């Protein structure tokens, strides 16, 4: 999600690419869906599928469709390449500090928490809910090495590296669990995604480009059906609903390629996309997330079937807008602060 704050040379033009900015918005919305249906409500269990198969499958299908939110953010960074600068890093650090310290200060003023070491740790980002920040930062620090390899390696060398990486990951991590990539929650996995996007950008895979949306849809449906069968028969989605599922990686690449074909230019989209990272930071903050949970649980208890999905999407859209408004204050303060640094 830091990809919204750290731009490549190709994305630093005044005219930002609205199709990619829209993809960032969709990706963070996928994260919101994942947190609502996965973290708060949890995946349906075997009994749920037996009692209400259609509703349970719809929830699993939504989870499968939204699974790639995090992967897509990393793939965007790999597609354009990370080329950092001091101002970009300063802006990212300022955004994180402003939001985390601001939320903690408000929580203290409202007597929702006390001044404590755990609270101070959260205000410094030392919180497992912010694993993405640390994983992306690690990839960001390694990006010069990753870029150097992508620029100097031959197509054959690049292909061999990726094939070796994914064979190792799929067998030892995804299938056997002998080496822990934390189900995709890791710097190593992010570096693999980054290089995957660089390879596809440098050496286009025609079948993926031509059939991007079809492949994404087929894989998503396959994952949903497989996970549903797995939960019903053995009580487990069979490792299908994981970031490091190789099929999910292919689906995310296709999702990116599909959006690259969209022709759109909108200032509103570009403006909304600037707050993607803030949406993640704010709603998943431990002082804020309980209210997010209350909203999701209330909707789940009051509405059913199609109305449940409709109201849930409306709620998540409201969450996005509220977080964007809060981040607008941060953006204004950054403009005033950064102008004094010149």
Model pLDDT for residues 115-128, shown as the tens digit of each residue: 888 888 888 877 87
Q: What is the mean pLDDT of the chain?
A: 87
Map the chain to HEC letters: CHHHCCCCHHHCCCCCCHHHHHHHHHHHHHHHHHHHHHHHCCCCCHHHHHHCHHHHHHHHHHHHHHCCHHHHHHHHHHHHCCCCCHHHHHHHHHHHHHHHHHHHHHHHHCCCCCCCHHHHHHHCCCCHHHHHHHHHHHHHHHHHHHHHHHHHCCHHHHHHHHHHHHHHHHHHHHHCCCCCCHHHCCHHHHHHHHHHHHHHHHCCCHHHHHCHHHHHHHHHHHHHHHHHHHHHHHCCCCCCCCCCCHHHHHHHHHHHHHHHCCCCCCHHHHHHHCCHHHHHHHHCCCCCHHHHHHHHHHHHHHCCHHHHHHHHHHHHHHHHHHHHHHHHHHHHHHHHHHHCCC
Print burial letters for 48-60: b (CB count within 10 Å at least 16), e (below 16).
bbeeeeebbbbbb
Give the pLDDT band of residue 199 (cuts 50, 70, 90).
very high
pLDDT in tens, 212-227: 999 999 999 999 999 9
User: The tokens of 44 are what?
Assistant: 């349906």
| Comparison of pLDDT for 63 and 117, the residue scoring more | 63
Q: What is the pLDDT of residue 13?
A: 39
Kindly report the pTM of this predicted structure. Answer: 0.88
pLDDT in tens, 284-299: 999 999 999 999 999 9
Mean pLDDT, residues 4-32 taken together: 72
Position 184 pLDDT exceeds 80: no
Give the pLDDT band of residue 67 (cuts 50, 70, 90).
very high
| Comparison of pLDDT for 182 and 34, the residue scoring more | 34
Using CA atoms, how far apart are residues 304 and 306, in angstroms rounded to an integer? 6
Position 149 pLDDT exceeds 70: yes
Q: What is the pLDDT of residue 3?
A: 42
Q: Would you list the domain boundaries of the chain? A: 2-339
């Amino acid at each position: 999600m830091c990809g919204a704050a750290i731009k490549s040379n190709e994305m630093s033009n005044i005219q930002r690419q609205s199709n990619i900015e829209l993809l960032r918005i969709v990706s963070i919305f996928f994260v919101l869906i994942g947190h609502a249906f996965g973290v708060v409500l949890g995946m349906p269990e075997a009994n749920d599928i037996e009692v209400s198969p259609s509703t349970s499958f719809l929830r699993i299908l939504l989870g499968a469709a939204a699974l790639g939110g995090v992967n897509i953010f990393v793939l965007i960074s790999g597609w354009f390449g990370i080329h950092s600068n001091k101002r970009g890093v300063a802006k990212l650090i300022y955004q994180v500090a402003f939001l985390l310290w601001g939320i903690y200060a408000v929580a203290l003023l409202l007597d929702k928490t006390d001044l404590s070491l755990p609270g101070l740790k959260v205000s410094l980002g030392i919180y497992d809910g912010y694993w993405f920040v640390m994983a992306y930062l690690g990839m960001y620090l390694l990006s010069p090495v990753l870029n150097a390899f992508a620029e100097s390696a031959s197509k054959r060398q690049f292909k061999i590296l990726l094939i070796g990486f994914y064979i190792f990951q799929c067998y030892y991590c995804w299938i056997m669990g002998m080496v822990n990539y934390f189900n995709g929650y890791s710097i190593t996995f992010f570096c693999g995604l980054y290089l995957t996007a660089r390879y596809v950008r440098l050496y286009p895979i025609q079948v993926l480009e031509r059939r991007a949306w079809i492949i994404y849809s087929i894989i998503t449906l396959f994952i949903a059906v497989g996970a549903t069968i797995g939960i019903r028969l053995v009580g487990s989605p069979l490792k299908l609903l994981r970031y490091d599922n190789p099929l999910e990686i292919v689906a995310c690449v296709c999702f990116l390629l599909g959006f690259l074909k969209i022709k759109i230019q909108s200032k509103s989209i570009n403006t909304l996309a600037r707050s993607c990272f803030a949406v993640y930071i704010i709603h998943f903050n431990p002082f804020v997330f309980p209210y997010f949970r209350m909203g999701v649980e209330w909707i789940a208890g009051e509405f059913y079937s199609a109305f449940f999905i409709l109201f849930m999407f409306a709620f998540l859209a409201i969450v996005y807008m509220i977080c964007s408004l809060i981040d607008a204050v941060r953006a204004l303060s950054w403009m005033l602060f950064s102008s004094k640094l010149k």
